[in-house]
Amino acid sequence: MIKPHGSNTLNPLYVIDDEQRAERLQAAEKLPKLLLNSAAAANAVMLGAGYFNPLTGFMNREDSLSVAQSLKTTDGLFWPVPVMNRTNSIEGIEVGAKIALLDPNEPGNPVMATQTVEAIEELSDADIELMISEVFGTKDPEHPGVKTFESLGNFVVSGPIEVLSYSYFQDEFPGTFNTAYEIRDEFAKHGWEKVVAFQTRNPMHRAHEELCRMAHEQLGTDGILIHMLLGKLKPGDIPATVRDACIRKMVEVYFPPNSVMISGYGFDMLYAGPREAVLHAVFRQNCGCSYLIVGRDHAGVGDYYGAFDAQTIFSERVPEGALEIEIFEADHTAWSKKLNRVVMMRDVPDHGKEDFVLLSGTKVRQMLSKGEAPPPEFSRPEVAQILMDYYQSTV
């Protein structure tokens, strides 16, 4: 199993010991408090779970700008996106103090972490504009990631943290939400040394299913990690509970036993395309995966990114040796009417558009809303049924 990013061992920031955690939670009630926004809370979850190894807390302004511009901290650590605790209000917070960070996503806003405040800095409009331009590749305020980023506040509260709660993820997704160290332990129990990861924020159709098989077979891996985002999405995206049910049914029926691990992580989607693809690689390396599948428009949204920008960033912006995980570059996959199987389009140059089963997302949603199953070449019937039930319940 490959090493974590930036260290020989994984160093999650969650206080694992139940007694110690209870003591820290009790002590935190007497500390000055800061209500996090959802983005900062998601960063805290990822720091606690080991996905953001070797970071020890929230970045300061200088590191955040350095990461945005050059994909490395001021100390030279390779990192693809700023990891900040931004806020609109710093009332009652002082440099050098220990503060309690409150969860914005749980009723009553309980304490989810404590932070030692090393610096409180104000971002200028130019700072925010630079980070948006570099990380998202666009300044369009209609881009969902840009829209969120602009709303997070101008103050940056930096410093190391201790995580005391994984927010709502453990309760809402029991058996699916896993930390990076839990995933590593599970791989070890299975005897898996080489694992290929598949990232998803959507239910998986036939092409995705076959893409996992192709990568598994071509790379000779011991297993597949299907790893789904469980945090906040843009309006219109399918809820995580529905996606989880779809993926579990697909794996149960169509994959050999003990060949796939289904898991999820507690992060809000950035929709940052290429930069987010590199972030995905970092935290899959921290999980112990040897490979990450990066396909067409990975982590993209709308028409903001080129179809394969999320692949080329690895050769153009990721320095040699910066990451140990390798990328499996996938082309667009679809059912071939000629061959009666799913293929990568680049592998069948004799095919025209009419030789594939191709359906737009809009068309599929319309069919599901009407109780019509997409063709079996596109979607497994068991998965389509779950999606039809969901769409019809929202009408």
Query: pLDDT tens for residues 48-74?
Result: 999 999 999 999 999 999 999 999 999
Q: What are phi and psi of 357, to 5 degrees?
A: -90, 105
Task: Show me where the domains of the chain are located.
Answer: 18-170, 176-394
Mean pLDDT across 275-283:
97
Query: pLDDT tens for residues 103-125?
Result: 999 999 999 999 999 999 999 99
Of 71-75, 261-265, 337-341, the poorest mean pLDDT is in 337-341
pLDDT of 394 above 80: no
CATH topology of domain 18-170: Sulfate adenylyltransferase (3.10.400)
Torsion of Cα atoms, 353 then 357 then 358 then 362, to 10° = 150
Query: pLDDT tens for residues 161-172?
Result: 999 999 999 999
Tokens of 152: 């997070």
Instruction: Give the model's confidence band at 28: pLDDT under 50 very low, under 70 low, under 90 confident, else very high.
Output: very high
Q: What was the pLDDT predicted at 391?
A: 86
Domain 176-394 has CATH 3.90.180.10: no
**Residue-wise over 19-38: b if at least 16 C-beta within 10 A, else e?**
eebeebbeebeeeeebebbb
> In the 3-class helix/strand/coil scheme, how is 62-77 assigned residue by residue?
HHHHHHHHHCECCCCC
Query: pLDDT tens for residues 173-228?
Result: 999 999 999 999 999 999 999 999 999 988 888 999 999 999 999 999 999 999 99
Strands 33-35 and 98-102: parallel
Q: Whole-number mean pLDDT of the chain?
A: 94
pLDDT of 380 above 70: yes
Q: What was the pLDDT predicted at 321?
A: 94
Instruction: Give the model's confidence band at 141: pLDDT under 50 very low, under 70 low, under 90 confident, else very high.
Output: very high
Q: What was the pLDDT predicted at 332?
A: 87
Catalytic residues: 201-202
Closest CA to 226 of 190, 259, 200, 250: 200
pLDDT of 362 above 80: no
Instruction: Give the model's confidence band at 96: pLDDT under 50 very low, under 70 low, under 90 confident, else very high.
Output: very high
Could you tell me if 13 and 161 are in contact, meaning their C-beta atoms sit under 8 angstroms apart? yes
Task: Return contacts of 349-354, CB within 8 angstroms, 24+ apart.
Answer: none
Helix (H, G, I), strand (E, B) or coil at 319: coil
